[in-house]
Chains A and B, each alone.
Chain A
Amino acid sequence: MSAPRQLPFGIRLATLLRLLAVQGAWNYETLMGNGIAFAMEPGLRLLPDGTDGAPFRAAMARHAGYFNAHPYLAGLAVGALLRAELDGEDVTRIERFRTACCGPLGSVGDRLVWAGWLPACSLVALGVFSAGAAPLTVVLTFVVLYNLGHLGLRLWGLEAGYRNGLQVANSLGNPLFRKGPAAVARVAALTAGVVWPLAVRGVVGPARNWLVFVLAAAAAGAFVVTRLQGRVEGWRVAIAGLAGLILYSVVR
């Protein structure tokens, strides 16, 4: 594979910033397709004849169609597709790649980020809160830690995608994606175990003397929720429970 044409810094930056808005026009017909075209647009201006040319318009039309991926990994597809368009790859190959990469980019991202990194960072922030840190420290812990992973993944995705073009599938073989989700899940499990009782104590306030009862009730409630998996969600039960509590306290 030949070395890719160097993208000017301004275009890389514009693409990265637009990737932050890749889901800005998310809808049930094309999902994030419009966002992909929006993110690629600065780079596609480098096509022959610029924005007035037929290649530019054809590429924009192609990439505004249906597309789905995890938003943080969409950069991997955007980089690869941009490289393919600028290299003048065969349209059939480009379209096949678009179709093929949706599934893997979605499932890997969901497992790595939504089921791993996000809850892990959330639990770390709850741990910091439980340790009695100031509100600003709690907020900064979560925002900085989470976004180190978030922005790092977006930046890496765009760079790796553009560097490897349509061969970018190899990047998904990176140990981060193969072993990362399981490793992050174990860290999240350990953190959750440590933080859960401490966080409960952190918010129990005037019910401190009831802590053992609260922990036991919460554990029993969690057991029921997990046994009824798919049929009931804890936060929905909480709406009914809190409404009942408030009603009882007001009318008794």
Chain B
Amino acid sequence: MIELFPLTMLGALLGLDVVSFPQAMISRPIVSATLAGALAGAPGRGVIAGAVLELFALETLPFGASRYPEWGSAGVVGGAIFALHPDGTTGALAVAVLASLLTAVVSGWSMIQHRRAIGRWAAGMRDALASGEQGAVATLQLRGMTMDLLRGGLVTFAALALFVPLSRVVLSVWSLAPAPSRAVVVALAGAAALGAVWKIVHATAGARWYLLGGFLLGLSLLGIT
């Protein structure tokens, strides 16, 4: 369990980045999974997991007060699990991505609980806040951020403690061939990403033609390179 400590710390910091501080989007999976992969000793595998998760994350942008999955901790979990299995481990990406998506759901739920808890603390400090006490404002702010840091760390640790051993068991009895194992994951991620892009840009005048033009250019590059 002690080897999970650096990854837990990373998950805590990146979980904090999602909403509380500093929202620099270092919590995006392309960053978080790559960093986790690097901590696990395989940044190259981390970035592959990060790219797949980033395709999913395009669908879940943090609009206003909407509820969305939390990718900071989830990216760490996905990147670490994929990186912990050596190159050529069939099914590792599918298992890592599923673990990450499930973590994102649970972590998103934990953010809602965290926000409710802040609301309760604020209600308990109502008189102090209503009278403009400088200390009350700062206390609420710092308590919220500290608890968010702990929340991210706890989610990351619990997910890694559950999914790392589970992934070893699952992959030891994996029976599908490498190609279909990978193809299903990538097709699902590609579908989510393309659907997300369409949802974002279709309302902008002319954007669909830019998308189509880019797509033709991308296919041409695919043929050339």
- Find out whether the CB atom of A250 lies under 8 angstroms from the CB atom of B175: yes
- Find out whether the CB atom of B101 lies under 8 angstroms from the CB atom of A64: no
Is A169 in the interface zone, CB < 8 Å from B? no
A193 to B193, CA, bound (A): 11
- Find out whether the CB atom of A246 lies under 8 angstroms from the CB atom of B179: no
Specify which of B59, B98, B183 is in contact with A213 (CB 8 Å cutoff): B183
Nearest CB of chain A from residue B36's CB, rounded to whole Å: 11
CB nearest to A248 among chain B residues: B176
- Find out whether the CB atom of B138 lies under 8 angstroms from the CB atom of A41: yes
Q: Which residues of B contact A248 (CB under 8 A)?
A: 176
Is A3 in the interface zone, CB < 8 Å from B? no
CB nearest to A244 among chain B residues: B184
- Find out whether the CB atom of B191 lies under 8 angstroms from the CB atom of A222: yes
Is B91 in the interface zone, CB < 8 Å from A? yes
A-B residue pair count with CB separations less than 8 angstroms:
366
Is B161 in the interface zone, CB < 8 Å from A? no
- Find out whether the CB atom of B25 lies under 8 angstroms from the CB atom of A150: yes
A190 to B211, CA, bound (A): 5
**Which segment of B1-9, B152-160, B200-208 sits at the interface?**
B200-208
A229 to B199, CA, bound (A): 8
Is A71 in the interface zone, CB < 8 Å from B? yes
Nearest CB of chain A from residue B10's CB, rounded to whole Å: 13
Q: Which residues of B contact A138 (CB under 8 A)?
A: 30, 34, 47, 50-51
- Find out whether the CB atom of B192 lies under 8 angstroms from the CB atom of A203: no
Q: Which residues of A contact B176 (CB under 8 A)?
A: 245, 248-249
- Find out whether the CB atom of B115 lies under 8 angstroms from the CB atom of A146: no
Is B150 in the interface zone, CB < 8 Å from A? no
Nearest CB of chain A from residue B159's CB, rounded to whole Å: 14
- Find out whether the CB atom of A34 lies under 8 angstroms from the CB atom of B129: yes
- Find out whether the CB atom of B134 lies under 8 angstroms from the CB atom of A51: yes
Is B123 in the interface zone, CB < 8 Å from A? yes
A221 to B196, CA, bound (A): 11
- Find out whether the CB atom of A189 lies under 8 angstroms from the CB atom of B35: no
A242 to B30, CA, bound (A): 20
- Find out whether the CB atom of A122 lies under 8 angstroms from the CB atom of B213: no
Q: Which residues of B contact A51 (CB under 8 A)?
A: 134
- Find out whether the CB atom of B132 lies under 8 angstroms from the CB atom of A235: no
Nearest CB of chain B from residue A249's CB, rounded to whole Å: 4
What 0/1 readout, one digit per residue, does chain B (186-225) give for beta carbons within 8 Å of chain A?
1111111111111111101111101111111111011000
Nearest CB of chain B from residue A84's CB, rounded to whole Å: 16
Grouping DSSP codes into helix (H, G, I), strand (E, B) and loop, the B interface class, with mixed when no group exceeds half, is: helix
A186 to B205, CA, bound (A): 9
Known A-B contacts A37-B137, A241-B184; A142 and B30 likewise in contact (beta carbons under 8 Å): yes
CB nearest to B46 among chain A residues: A135
Is B22 in the interface zone, CB < 8 Å from A? yes
Specify which of A21, A56, A206 is in contact with B179 (CB 8 Å cutoff): A206
Specify which of A27, A35, A38, A249 is in contact with B91 (CB 8 Å cutoff): A249
- Find out whether the CB atom of A221 lies under 8 angstroms from the CB atom of B190: yes
Nearest CB of chain B from residue A58's CB, rounded to whole Å: 6
Q: Which residues of A contact B193 (CB under 8 A)?
A: 192, 196, 199, 218, 222, 234
What 0/1 readout, one digit per residue, does chain A (166-198) give for beta carbons within 8 Å of chain B?
000000000000000110011111111111111
Scan residues 32-65 of chain A and give those whose CB is less than 8 A from a CB of chain B: 34-35, 37-38, 41, 51, 56-62, 64
A27 to B170, CA, bound (A): 39
Nearest CB of chain B from residue A232's CB, rounded to whole Å: 9
Is A238 in the interface zone, CB < 8 Å from B? yes
Is A28 in the interface zone, CB < 8 Å from B? yes
Given A23-B20, A195-B214, 8 further pairs, Cβ under 8 A: A60-B134, A115-B200, A122-B54, A185-B204, A188-B200, A189-B214, A193-B215, A214-B190
11 A-B pairs with CB atoms under 8 Å apart are A34-B137, A56-B134, A142-B31, A182-B204, A193-B214, A218-B188, A219-B190, A225-B191, A238-B192, A245-B185, A249-B176
By Cβ-Cβ distance, the 8 closest A-B pairs, closest first, are A193-B214, A221-B191, A234-B192, A218-B190, A57-B132, A222-B194, A225-B195, A60-B132
